[in-house]
Amino acid sequence: MKNKLIMVAAAAAIVTLGLAGCSASSPASTKKTTLTVVGWKGQGANLADIPTLNKAFEKAYPNIKLDYTYVDDSNYTTYNNPRLAGGDAADVIMVDTPEIRSWGKQGYLANLSGLTAVSEQDSTYKADAGVGGETYAVVSESTPVGLFTNLDLLKKDGINSAPTDWPTFIKDLETLKSDGDGGLVLAQKNLFGGSAIMKLMASNFVASDWAENYDAGNTTFGKSWGQSISELKELFDKGLVDPKLSLGLDENVDAPPQFEAGKWAFMPTGSWELSTLKSATKENIAFIPFPGGAKGSQPKTFVFVGTGWAINAKTKNSAAAKDYINFMSEPKQAEAYLKADSAFSTLKDVKSPNVPEDAAVVKAAADGDMLPSTIDDLNSTGAATAFNTAIENLFINPSLTTSDELKTLNSTVTPTPPTK
């Protein structure tokens, strides 16, 4: 009997301790959620104030622990594709338009309709934030691409202001060349330089609704693109750009350090480089729209939809993921992000930053001389790659005629009607 009593008491004690242990280890109110986020901004030249913003998020949401992974943009799809396919991608994923379309179409992204941040988004970007009428992302910025200009180098060679039209640009490049200075540095090894300069040239000739019409089968790479190709060929023919040298230059390793060192006067790239260039160079620089038009015309440039935030369709932390996107889209955080990236706002209550070096680009935007990116607005996810490859072909074979190049573009960039 005594033994029985001891056993019952022991069992009761074990059960009580067990229950106490359970209740101590799992109160719902104190459990921290770990939210995984992946992006190609947050380090080096692509800092975009992400570390500070992430700290602010953890402070505002003490029940969420943030696990942010930075992945270099050149490896971004390689990193994410297998994880999305395998079902273990991050909860929140930084995306751009091609990724929104590719991943959204395949069901890897959650539908964000109804999210507070989505309702704050400017309606201009609705088509870029989704596919087939669904919204898969909140677009955080629109990013202008233009021409970084070394004003000190121009001044040294007797040029007192940045060029605004094509004849002046050619004359400036010829002056720089005759004085033994670098003119336009085009880094084509990663296919970026040639594609950027061609799209900048095109912004001076191609209609703003060209992409929509091309996908609908109503237009082709025609006369306006021919003018852009002729400008590039003129640079080659006059020896102002060496296509072979460009093919050997790396967008990250060669061009920016050369420009920072003051060895070249012009470098085409996006506004995201502005903060880094400003802090890395002693030169007086400006970020200007592309002087590609006829004498006396206003320079134009293009803008493409930059980064956005999306949620993995298979996330188990949907609420925390939504909190993160809403937080990053609030004016205070969004404005800090835009300032660090020198980008334009895509959200109704968020102001674009005021940076003196890109005043000419801001003016172009205000004057209606900033067009959406033609190629990046095409529906086919392979359009940009096909375009870049066709432009690379021109660098490899500079003797190709404009009509040959147009034929290549028309045959390789596939018109794709929008998904219904």
Run of H or E including 66: strand 64-70
d(CA 319, CA 326) in angstroms, rounded, equals 11
d(CA 230, CA 166) in angstroms, rounded, equals 12
Cβ atoms within 10 Å of 315's Cβ, excluding its own = 19
Least distance between another protein and beta carbon 310 (Å)? 16
Least distance between another protein and beta carbon 394 (Å)? 11
d(CA 186, CA 243) in angstroms, rounded, equals 8
Cβ atoms within 10 Å of 24's Cβ, excluding its own = 9
| Count of residues interacting with another protein (CB under 8 A) | 32
Q: For residues 94 and 117, which CB has a smaller minimum distance to another protein in the complex?
A: 94
Q: For residues 192 and 287, which CB has a smaller minimum distance to another protein in the complex?
A: 192
Least distance between another protein and beta carbon 246 (Å)? 7
Q: For residues 147 and 384, which CB has a smaller minimum distance to another protein in the complex?
A: 384
Q: For residues 67 and 179, which CB has a smaller minimum distance to another protein in the complex?
A: 179
Q: For residues 81 and 224, which CB has a smaller minimum distance to another protein in the complex?
A: 81
Q: For residues 259 and 290, which CB has a smaller minimum distance to another protein in the complex?
A: 259
d(CA 49, CA 90) in angstroms, rounded, equals 20
Residue 396 within binding range of another protein, rule CB under 8 A: yes
Binding mask 373-392 for another protein (x = CB under 8 A): --------xx--x---x--x
Q: Angle, nearest 10°, between helix axes 50-60 and 318-328?
A: 120
Instruction: State the residue for tokens 């990193």.
Output: 79
Residue 338 within binding range of another protein, rule CB under 8 A: no
- Secondary structure in 3-state letters for 165-177: CHHHHHHHHHHHH
Q: For residues 51 and 257, which CB has a smaller minimum distance to another protein in the complex?
A: 257
Binding mask 62-91 for another protein (x = CB under 8 A): ---------------xx--xx-xxx-----
d(CA 107, CA 255) in angstroms, rounded, equals 38
Structure tokens at 84: 């999305």
Structure tokens at 129: 């934030």
Q: For residues 61 and 79, which CB has a smaller minimum distance to another protein in the complex?
A: 79
Read off the DSSP letter of residue 298. Answer: P
Residue 125 · residue 303 · CB < 8 Å: no
Q: What is the DSSP string of 371-389?
A: EEPTGGGSS-TTHHHHHHH
Binding mask 135-154 for another protein (x = CB under 8 A): --------------------
Q: What is the DSSP string of 89-120?
A: --SEEEE-HHHHHHHHHTT-B---TT-HHHHT
| 246-265 residues near another protein, rule: CB under 8 A | 246-250, 253-254, 258, 263
Cβ atoms within 10 Å of 46's Cβ, excluding its own = 20
d(CA 265, CA 262) in angstroms, rounded, equals 7
Contact segment (CB under 8 A) with another protein among 35-43, 53-61, 144-152, 184-192 equals 184-192
| 222-251 residues near another protein, rule: CB under 8 A | 244-250
Least distance between another protein and beta carbon 317 (Å)? 22
| 283-312 residues near another protein, rule: CB under 8 A | none
Least distance between another protein and beta carbon 35 (Å)? 24
Interface ranges with another protein (CB under 8 A): 77-78, 81-82, 84-86, 102, 106, 188-191, 244-250, 253-254, 258, 263, 381-382, 385, 389, 392-393, 395-396
